[in-house]
């Protein structure tokens, strides 16, 4: 039977449950009265409404399974100012439908707010074990990406409705690329490892981008659709179940999100595109060319545009509301500006943009974790930190110089927020992330040696990585671990002919290796101290991190903790300022030393470390 098509009349009231209302007033008087929002809105068990914001376009048709993909007068969307809209009825709530917009008889797109897409090129390669019963793309009837719609209501029942996130000082984040974490290469596979993550002690996971990206095999930094979880990793309910289970185990879920740029399949790009593929001058969301002269990917969002701001706010609100995401790690926030240059220098306009985004997120979730991969001028990062934004702090190169046993470039002082003259401990310091070469790979390839002591030896390199973990986690502030870093993962990122974006070996067998398990246990110990011992969050601390013998001293009224490590390949004796006399017990060896003065000479062999607690 032909589906009922009817335009919305003023007596109809529609409640949207998909996303935040955009804050603009772009000529949609009738729609505002009806509470109808951009995108696809469920009205009832058998009807949907579609609204597309498309200024300067003349006509839009809705094509789909329900009309045999034919542009007819019945499915021509009503033009209302800058928007086009239509309501269709007589849909079966037990069915999904594939559909698409045809704009000006030449541009075919899926809705920018679509929560599920149908991909003519890549869906066929998604295994049924990852996404069962995936609706097929209507080959021969459509071209380009389409959206999948249904009137069926969300049937996920949350077990944890409200989850409080840990304070910044106690936050230990585990960064995960779903594709390379388990053999299943799915979000369900990651969920099966939640007991492992809980036993390690992390209280947050940061999932590399999982909203729809181009193709199936990706790191996710080539996004196209911002409201749809990528089907290559599982269903929408698979993601929700994972988040729910994380919350049940005390673990927050942080979404790595790319709002610096989009790739060419994005409908917001394709709606207004020049012949050369770049955004045209009438595109309301993107710059024609990126203002960044050194770093540019895809098509650059114009964050000064009100249209972009509305879109970004809707994206951020959506995942918090619909998936109970606990916060975001924003990729390349250095690029959130129209100021020409490489983005390194202080940029007040960028600060304003980033503060605006942050304040809008916190209207939706007051304790949302907000992390920027900024890596710009320290003055700007300090200002953002003062706004309670967390900043990525990359010390991979300097820490790896230390673990390899080389003094040049081994100063890791920049892992201390106080060294940066920050007033708040909002520095997410890390020695590995998805972008950096693996610590143990470099240890094994380039490690220093002396008198039979050789860092290239795997057991030796792992022991030195233990020392690195002790020093890094002793420093107050949030910390991050890249997946398998706690097991000394040593397959190269891109060395020895490896392609940085290719699939990497998944080595859960490392957990059964005694030397690697020992490294894991040191990580777990230090994570536990950071979460449970307030001394590890003190603001009263001193550091000596410039040379190969490194020291962190943490002080409170009731306790002093001293972490020391020798990254030289020779035995070293150094005077350490304990701050007071008394007895000190090393956590790892249970050995007790006595200090008769505030400063005491400590001798450590190559690669040795201690964690002294005042007695």
Cα–Cα distances in angstroms (integers) from residue 330 to residues 141, 298, 404, 579, in the given order: 38, 16, 31, 40
3-class DSSP state of 375: coil
| Number of Cβ atoms within 10 Å of the Cβ of 490 | 21
Task: Note the helical H segments in 304-422.
Answer: 306-323, 348-364, 378-386, 396-404
pLDDT digit string (tens) for 321-344? 999 999 999 999 999 999 999 999
Q: Which CATH architecture has domain 544-614?
A: Sandwich (2.60)
Q: How far apart are the first and last CA of the chain?
A: 82
Q: How far is CA 357 from CA 306, 328, 330, 333, in A?
A: 12, 11, 11, 11
Answer yes or no: is pLDDT of 16 > 50.
Answer: no
Confidence band, pLDDT 50/70/90 cuts, at residue 27: very low
Q: Is the pLDDT assigned to residue 26 strictly greater than 80?
A: no
Do the domains at 5-149 and 168-535 have one common CATH topology? no
The hierarchical CATH code for the domain 168-535 is 3.20.20.80
pLDDT per residue as tens digits for the range 386-423: 999 999 999 999 999 999 999 999 999 999 999 999 99
**Which pLDDT value is given to residue 495?**
78
> 105: Cβ–Cβ under 8 A, 6 or more apart, which residues?
59, 71
The residues spanned by each domain of the chain are 5-149, 168-535, 544-614
Given a cut of 70, whether residue 9 has pLDDT beyond it is no
What's the whole-number mean pLDDT along residues 174-192?
98
Q: Which pLDDT belongs to residue 36?
A: 79
42 band by pLDDT with thresholds 50, 70 and 90: very high
pLDDT bracket for residue 34 (50, 70, 90): low
Average pLDDT (297-313) is: 98
Short-list 25, 93, 183, CA closest to 505: 183
Per-residue model confidence (pLDDT) at position 35: 66
Give the tens place of pLDDT for each residue, 497-535: 889 999 999 999 999 999 999 999 999 999 999 999 999
Burial class (CB in 10 A: 0-12, 13-18, 19+), 108: middle
Reply yes or no on whether the pLDDT at 28 is more than 90: no
Average pLDDT score, the chain: 94
pLDDT, residue 497, reads: 85
Q: Could you say which of 2.60.40.10, 1.10.490.10, 3.40.630.10, 3.30.365.10 is the CATH number of the domain covering 5-149?
A: 2.60.40.10
């Amino acid at each position: 039977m032909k589906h009922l098509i009817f335009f919305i009349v003023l007596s109809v009231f529609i409640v949207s449950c998909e996303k935040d209302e955009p804050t603009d007033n772009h000529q949609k008087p009738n729609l505002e009265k009806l509470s109808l929002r951009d995108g696809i809105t469920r009205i009832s068990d058998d009807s949907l409404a579609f609204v597309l914001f498309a200024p300067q376009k003349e006509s839009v048709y809705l094509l789909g399974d329900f009309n045999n993909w034919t542009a007819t007068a019945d499915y021509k969307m009503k033009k209302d100012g800058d928007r086009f809209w239509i309501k269709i009825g007589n849909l079966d709530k037990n069915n999904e439908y594939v559909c698409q917009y045809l704009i000006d008889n030449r541009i075919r797109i899926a809705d920018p707010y679509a929560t599920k897409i149908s991909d003519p090129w890549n869906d066929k390669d998604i295994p049924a074990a990852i996404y069962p019963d995936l609706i097929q793309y209507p080959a021969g009837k459509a071209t380009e990406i389409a959206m999948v719609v249904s009137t069926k209501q969300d049937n996920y029942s949350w077990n944890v409705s409200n989850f409080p996130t840990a304070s910044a000082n106690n936050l230990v984040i585990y960064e995960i690329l779903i594709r390379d974490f388990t053999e299943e290469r799915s979000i369900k596979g990651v969920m099966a490892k939640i007991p492992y993550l809980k036993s390690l002690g992390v209280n947050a996971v940061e999932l590399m981008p999982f909203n729809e990206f181009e193709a199936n095999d990706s790191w996710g930094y080539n996004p196209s659709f911002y409201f749809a979880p990528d089907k290559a990793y599982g269903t929408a309910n698979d993601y929700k179940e994972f988040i729910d289970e994380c919350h049940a185990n005390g673990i927050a879920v942080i979404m790595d999100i790319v709002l610096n740029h989009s790739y060419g399949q994005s409908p917001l790009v394709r709606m207004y595109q020049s012949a050369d593929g770049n955004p045209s001058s009438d595109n309301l969301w993107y710059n024609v060319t990126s203002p960044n002269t050194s770093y540019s990917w895809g098509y650059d969002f114009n964050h000064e545009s009100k249209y972009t701001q509305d879109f970004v706010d809707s994206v951020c609100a959506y995942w918090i509301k619909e998936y109970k995401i606990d916060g975001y790690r924003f990729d390349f926030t250095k690029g959130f500006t129209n100021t020409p240059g490489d983005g390194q220098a202080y940029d007040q306009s960028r600060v304003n943009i980033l503060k605006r985004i942050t304040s809008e997120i916190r209207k939706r979730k007051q304790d949302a974790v907000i992390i920027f991969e900024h890596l710009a001028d320290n003055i700007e990062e300090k200002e953002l930190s003062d706004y309670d934004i967390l900043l990525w702090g990359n010390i991979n190169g300097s820490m790896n110089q230390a673990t390899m046993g080389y003094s040049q470039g081994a100063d890791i002082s920049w892992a201390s927020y106080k060294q940066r003259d920050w007033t708040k401990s909002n520095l997410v310091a890390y020695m590995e992330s998805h972008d950096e070469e693996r610590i143990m790979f470099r240890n094994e390839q380039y490690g220093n040696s002396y008198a039979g002591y050789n860092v290239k030896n795997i057991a030796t390199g792992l022991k030195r990585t233990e020392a690195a973990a002790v020093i890094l986690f002793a420093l107050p502030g949030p910390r991050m671990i890249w997946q398998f870093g706690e097991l000394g993962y040593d397959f190269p990122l891109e060395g020895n002919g490896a392609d940085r974006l290719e699939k990497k070996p998944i080595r859960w067998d490392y957990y059964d290796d005694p030397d690697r398990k020992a490294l894991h246990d040191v990580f777990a110990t230090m994570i536990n101290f950071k979460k449970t011992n307030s001394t590890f969050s003190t603001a009263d601390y001193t550091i000596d991190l410039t040379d190969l013998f490194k020291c962190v001293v943490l002080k409170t009224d009731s306790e002093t903790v001293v972490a020391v490590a020798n990254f030289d390949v020779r035995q070293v004796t150094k005077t350490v300022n304990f701050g007071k006399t008394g007895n000190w017990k090393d956590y790892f060896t249970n050995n007790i030393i006595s200090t008769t003065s505030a400063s005491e000479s400590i001798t450590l062999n190559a690669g040795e470390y201690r964690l002294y607690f005042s007695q």
